[in-house]
Amino acid sequence: MKNAVKTGCGLLCLLLIGCGEAPKKQAVVERAAAAAVHTVAATTESWPATYEATGTVRARTTAVIASKLTGYVREVRAQAGERVREGQLLVTLDTRDLDIATRRAEAAREEVRTAMPEADSAVAAAKANLDLAEVTLGRMKDLLQKKSISSQEFDEATARWKAAQSGFDMANARRTQLNSRLAQAEQEVRSSEVMRSYAEVTAPFAGMVVARSIEPGSLAMPGAPLLTIEREGAYRLEASVEEGRPVKAGQGVSVFLGDDCVEARVSEIVPSVDAASRAYTVKIDLPASAGLRSGMFGRAVFATSARAVLAIPAAAVTERGQVQTVQVVEDGATRARLVTVGQKSGDRVEVLSGLSAGEKVVLQ
């Protein structure tokens, strides 16, 4: 019995010794691991404060192509997404009515031109008659002074001269009227040709067709959109900025389009504020990029005054879903700690909670 008690006490002592040595060995291992990794202290830094505004990418130049005439669409030569060149024919309207009007105006012009030679002949005849009447009247004056003719004969010669003068003036007036009618007919022909040219709708500039609102056989109305064209290579971000946030024209701004970040400048500020959103629109010119399209979502980050932040290298943060942790060195050992991070600047990230200045974190 005594031997059994002694044996149990011995086993209990061995277990207690083993339990005491295990934490010591684990602490030694953690300290060795902490000494083997590269650590960086969390530091307080001065970062520029920023303000973020969201917006939409739009083309700087957009043209809504519409017809100036009312007519049925005969042909549409452009599709949405197709690139077009300046002056390229896009839409053709039915021009039969316009062709008739043009031929009518041309016929009226030819009628006037045909009457011109006859009017010129009438003017020439009237001028010859006037010249004869003037010569006759001169002779009659000489004869009247010599008392060779009566006053009655002189009055008759004077009357013939006046009639010839009136005939000449009338012929000239008719010729002038023909000139006016010819000019009017020319204008009508030009007007009909201009109207007919409106039946062929062309591209005002080189760009891409982003919308097609008409099909062959449809009735085109003046002002109703047919196609929408955007000039390629010239886009800007139109962002809504709160009315209390000051922004200046020419100010530099970072624009985030998906995962891409580009540096741009404010080109225009709309002076009016929207009453519903209490925000005004800022237009930011974007550098040319093949991936830009109208309607894309973008974020504009404006730099304001500097602020003090607690920052660590972004590589020290481990993210698993929504959980963010860092390995902190405490008493020579590394332990995981939950943190909340904020904005990033280069390869460093702002720590909002979970760390204090001077604490060391392990670089992953």
List the CATH number of the domain containing 303: 2.40.30.170
Q: Which residue has the higher pLDDT, 355 or 12?
A: 355
Q: Is 13 exposed, middle or buried (CB count within 10 Å of its CB: 0-12, 13-18, 19+)?
A: exposed
Half-sphere exposure of 250 (CA within 13 A, CB side): 0
Identity of residue 155: D
* Percent of the chain with pLDDT strictly greater than 70: 90
The helix (H) or strand (E) run that includes residue 143 is: helix 96-145
Would you state the pLDDT for residue 7? 44
Average pLDDT, the chain: 85
Burial 77-98 (b: 16+ CB within 10 A, else e): ebeeeeebeeeeebbbbbbeeb
Residues 216-239 have pLDDT tens digits of 999 999 989 999 999 877 889 999
Detail the DSSP E strand segments found in 196-322. 200-202, 207-212, 219-220, 225-230, 235-242, 252-257, 260-269, 279-285, 297-313, 318-320
The reply to whether 149 and 221 lie within a common domain is no
Q: Is residue 321 part of a domain?
A: yes
Backbone phi, psi, residue 152, to 5°: -60, -45
List the CATH number of the domain containing 223: 2.40.50.100
The reply to whether 211 and 335 lie within a common domain is no
Residues 194-222 have pLDDT tens digits of 888 899 999 999 988 989 998 999 999 99
Residues 332-353 have pLDDT tens digits of 888 899 999 988 878 889 999 9
Domain count within the chain: 3
**Residue 139, token pair as written in the block:** 């002779």
User: 57 near 296, Cβ under 8 Å?
Assistant: yes
The reply to whether 224 and 111 lie within a common domain is no
The reply to whether 70 and 103 lie within a common domain is no
219: β partners: 72
Would you state the pLDDT for residue 234? 83
Closest CA to 49 of 306, 300, 302: 306
Q: Is residue 30 part of a domain?
A: no
Residues 111-164 have pLDDT tens digits of 999 999 999 999 999 999 999 999 998 998 988 888 888 889 889 999 999 999
Cα angle value 264/268/272 (rounded, 5°): 135
Distance CA 29, CA 23 (A): 10
Angle subtended by helix axes 151-197 and 96-145, to nearest 10: 160
CA 24 to chain centre: 71
Question: How many other CB atoms are found less than 10 A from the CB of residue 237?
Answer: 28
Residues 155-207 have pLDDT tens digits of 999 999 999 999 999 999 999 999 999 999 999 999 998 888 899 999 999 98
The reply to whether 220 and 135 lie within a common domain is no
List the CATH number of the domain containing 145: 1.10.287.470
DSSP 3-state assignment of 129? Answer: helix
Would you state the pLDDT for residue 76? 93
Q: Is 115 exposed, middle or buried (CB count within 10 Å of its CB: 0-12, 13-18, 19+)?
A: middle
The reply to whether 208 and 280 lie within a common domain is no
Would you state the pLDDT for residue 231? 87
Would you state the pLDDT for residue 56? 94
Distance CA 169, CA 127 (A): 9
Half-sphere exposure of 9 (CA within 13 A, CB side): 6
User: 318 near 308, Cβ under 8 Å?
Assistant: no
DSSP 3-state assignment of 175? Answer: helix
Residue 91 has pLDDT above 90, yes or no: yes
Residues 273-305 have pLDDT tens digits of 999 989 999 999 998 876 788 889 999 988 877
The reply to whether 116 and 212 lie within a common domain is no
Range of the domain at 76: 64-94+199-230
Would you state the pLDDT for residue 176? 92
Q: Is residue 308 part of a domain?
A: yes
Distances (CA, A) of 208 to 212, 251, 301: 11, 30, 29
**Binning pLDDT at 50, 70 and 90, where does residue 36 land?**
low
Residues belonging to the chain = 364
Residue 97 has pLDDT above 50, yes or no: yes
Residue 12 has pLDDT above 60, yes or no: no
**Residue 6, token pair as written in the block:** 């002694």
Q: Is residue 274 part of a domain?
A: yes
Would you state the pLDDT for residue 339? 92
Would you state the pLDDT for residue 15? 37
Identity of residue 288: A
* Percent of the chain with pLDDT strictly greater than 90: 46
User: 109 near 171, Cβ under 8 Å?
Assistant: no
Q: In this structure, what DSSP letter does residue 1 have? A: -
Residue 31 has pLDDT above 60, yes or no: no
Domain endpoint, select from 191, 221, 252? 191
201: β partners: 91
Domain endpoint, select from 208, 230, 252? 230
User: 101 near 258, Cβ under 8 Å?
Assistant: no
The reply to whether 74 and 105 lie within a common domain is no
Would you state the pLDDT for residue 328? 92
Residue 38 has pLDDT above 90, yes or no: no
The reply to whether 77 and 214 lie within a common domain is yes
Q: Is residue 24 part of a domain?
A: no
Residues ≥6 apart with Cβ < 8 Å to 359: 41, 42, 328, 329
